[in-house]
Amino acid sequence: MWVDWINDFAAFRDYVNQNLGPRPKGKTLDRIDDYRNYEPGNLKWSTPSEQNLNSRRSKLHKKLEALMREDTL
């Protein structure tokens, strides 16, 4: 269970290694859905650029930009 990761880094590390494999060069652990936790089924390796695009702030910024474009049409 993913909650075990809070108190057991080895369990977290082992899950990641078994399910995602070793960390590729230039990538760090990221969440697929940033509204969810670091939990089974919601992890991936991403570049820093990919992580920036997956942030809540980035998604909000894109929505606001789209709304502003619609307003100017």
Q: How many CB atoms lie within 10 A of CB 5?
A: 19
State the Cα–Cα distance between residues 49 and 45, nearest whole angstrom.
12
State the Cα–Cα distance between residues 4 and 44, nearest whole angstrom.
19
DSSP for 36-52, please give it: S-S-TTSEEEE-HHHHH
C-alpha distance from residue 51 to each of 9, 44, 71, 73 (Å): 22, 10, 29, 31
State the Cα–Cα distance between residues 28 and 71, nearest whole angstrom.
38
For residue 28, the model assigns a pLDDT of 93
For residue 44, the model assigns a pLDDT of 94
How many independent structural domains does the chain possess? 1
Domain with 20, as residue range(s), is 2-72
Could you read off the pLDDT tens digit of each residue along the chain, which spans 73 residues? 556 777 888 888 888 999 999 999 999 999 888 778 888 899 999 998 888 777 666 666 667 767 777 765 5
